[in-house]
Structure 1
Amino acid sequence: QIELEKQGTISLEWLPDTVTEFCISNRKFKGTLDCGKLPKSLEIFSVGENRLTGEFHVSKLPEGILCFDAPYNLLSGILDLQKAPQWLDYLCLEGNRLCGDLVIGRKVPIKILMFGFNDFDCTIDLTSLPFDTEVCECGNNGHHGTADLTALPVYLQQLDVSSNKFEGSIDLTQLPATLTILCASDNTFSGTIDVSDLPPDFEHLFIDRNRLSGDLDITHFPDTMSVAHFEKNAFDGTLTVGNLPDTLDSLFLTENNFCTKRLFENGTHTRSDRVFADFFREGQFAALKTEDE
């Protein structure tokens, strides 16, 4: 271990080839990163929140690298995951300046993949994510086109596609059984949505700030559901509520145009006092005409 001053300039190309782990996160160092000149024995490289420049090339990383963690720097280049080293299972490049086309592939070994907050302006085929991916975060990019969520990796636990330019319908009926968090806020998804068949251990759904419309039935949430955001859409049909799980802490439905309501209260699953606080405060839910009226 070597103690380094905070800030200043660092020349990464002079690191000895025997170095296996290098961590200088949040030190504000300046310097140029040349992936081809990193130590040959390097396994863990963590340099987040510095001011490193250079062009990222996943194909030039050391053959035995396991973790490449470089969020919030000034790295440029494209992301071609098909050329990733065979042992790389953690790749974080959030908050850089990557752009151009994105190349991914099912046989890539990466389990944790984070590349949001970059300058991409391209489509992304989510059905081509690596087989073993457990976490994928690509929010706050410029991804456009449709988002097919019907053939995601079977072990996927978290997916963030928020704040992009996705459009068209969104199918939540064939999500992986392992998925617990889905963030799809702030896109232009449209049409109706079915949340009656979410994964059994699902916890957090963020689908707010889209253009979803029609009816909304939230009577079949999983028993683990904790947070659900539907606000700022264009729902204009019937809101059906009931059988909400005791785990549900937050439910946001404001700034929609529901025309009628159906309310089912079953034993302890009434939750109105707490999870509907925001909806009741403006009198929107209470003011809705019931379907039987």
Structure 2
Amino acid sequence: MATRPTPLLSLLCLFTLLFSLAHSELCNPTDKKVLLRIKAALNNPYLLASWNPANDCCDWYCVTCDSTTHCINSLTIFSGKISGQIPAEVGDLPYLETLEFHKLSNLTGPIQPAIAKLKHLSFLRLSWTNLSGPVPDFLSKLKNLTFFDLSFNDLSGYIPPSLSLLPNLNALHLDRNKLTGPIPESFGKFTKVPDLYLSHNQLSGKIPASFANMDFNVIDLSRNKLEGDASVVFGSNKTTQIVDLSRNLLQFDLSKVQFPKSLTSLDLNHNNITGSIPVEMTKLNLQFLNVSYNRLCGQIPVGGKLQSFDNSSYFHNRCLCGSPLPSCK
């Protein structure tokens, strides 16, 4: 449930709105001052050239205003020549619902602690930058987040277990960083199960047993150093559609896995998976399959979509045979 603005903040916003209307400008004057401080902190980049004090800030590029209160509710800065760190002043936009710094290769430093003040934030994307340091624990205070994206950065350290306390997440992107350590066991206890993207990191250890309780629609743990049994990701009663566990150190018997009937994409390549391909997989409406570079044996079952994939989906296994690979002897 979204947090409602406090009466004091609503009264303040209404007062400043009435004041601004008297001066023929819709933009909240307090928010306008904050935006100009943000521009100055970023060294007045050309991308923010429209942020002219003489103009209504609701008409400025990269921001939007609430249609009723005219307070700033969105700040989206992307694909420009921005350098430096995320300004602390972003935390002084109390009604912000969307915050995005995206495709800014010269944006550096840690994730700004002032972001924790944005209690109404539902969309947070800080991606394709050079942000570094840890994924901060304080982000778990943003209880209204539905979309959380910190991908394609230079973040390091452990994943904070407290992120599982975010009750409204639809998607969590921590992929393509330098994160280490295990996947938190608490990630098997999300109130609402998000699409989970943790690929291209240096995560190690086992996939949490608590994942047996999670019905992820999409789960991508590829290109890490995860080991052990991954069968907890699957389950006949789940509605999972996309699973990518490729390029890890996983070891389990594929023939014992119970796959959800909803599965459309399965990538297990470059692991140490044993057993055989179960006949039940012929009942799946697979659009993508790759089990290459494992230790599978036996004949590939005939039927369903299994023969619609070429040999690259199956090759480099221990003794797997049958179409589209050479016939079994």
TM-score between the two structures when normalised by the length of structure 2: 0.68
State whether residues 292 and 315 of structure 2, in contact with CA within 8 Å, keep that contact through their aligned partners in structure 1: no
Work out the CA distance in 1 between the residues paired with 2:218 and 2:237: 10
State whether residues 242 and 270 of structure 1, in contact with CA within 8 Å, keep that contact through their aligned partners in structure 2: no
Q: Which whole-Å deviations, capped at 9, do the CAs of 1:234-260 have from their partners, x for residues lacking one?
A: 22x3124122244211111111123x3
Q: Supply the RMSD in Å over aligned alpha carbons.
A: 3.3
Which runs of structure 2 are paired with 1:3-82 in the superposition (5 Å)?
8=46, 10-11=48-49, 14=52, 19-20=57-58, 23-24=61-62, 41-56=71-86, 57=88, 60-73=91-104, 74-79=106-111, 80=113
Q: Which moved more, 1:168-177 or 1:244-253?
A: 168-177
**Which amino acid in the other structure matches residue 272 of structure 1?**
L
Q: 1:273 to 1:234 in 2, by over 3 A?
A: same
State whether residues 58 and 85 of structure 1, in contact with CA within 8 Å, keep that contact through their aligned partners in structure 2: no
Q: Which position in structure 2 is the counterpart of 1:96?
A: 129
Higher helix share: 2
Q: 1:255 to 1:62 in 2, by over 3 A?
A: same
Selected match of 2:149 from 114, 128, 137: 114
Q: Which moved more, 1:69-78 or 1:8-17?
A: 8-17
Work out the CA distance in 2 between the residues paired with 1:17 and 1:107: 35
Q: 1:152 to 1:169 in 2, by over 3 A?
A: same
1:227 aligns with 2:265: yes
Q: Which position in structure 2 is the counterpart of 1:213?
A: 251
Work out the CA distance in 1 between the residues paired with 2:301 and 2:155: 45
Which runs of structure 2 are paired with 1:171-182 in the superposition (5 Å)?
171=208, 173-177=211-215, 179-182=216-219
Q: Which moved more, 1:90-99 or 1:141-150?
A: 141-150
Q: What 5-or-longer segments of structure 2 have no aligned partner?
A: 1-44, 64-69, 323-328
Work out the CA distance in 2 between the residues paired with 1:198 and 1:125: 30
Q: Which position in structure 2 is the counterpart of 1:168?
A: 205
Q: Which moved more, 1:222-231 or 1:194-203?
A: 194-203
State whether residues 155 and 176 of structure 1, in contact with CA within 8 Å, keep that contact through their aligned partners in structure 2: no
Q: What number of residue pairs does the alignment pair up?
A: 262
State the identity as a percent: 13
Q: What 5-or-longer segments of structure 1 have no aligned partner?
A: 1-6, 26-39, 288-292
Q: Which position in structure 2 is the counterpart of 1:254?
A: 292
State whether residues 59 and 84 of structure 1, in contact with CA within 8 Å, keep that contact through their aligned partners in structure 2: no
Work out the CA distance in 1 between the residues paired with 2:194 and 2:79: 26
Q: Which whole-Å deviations, capped at 9, do the CAs of 1:192-213 have from their partners, x for residues lacking one?
A: 2214427722111110001112
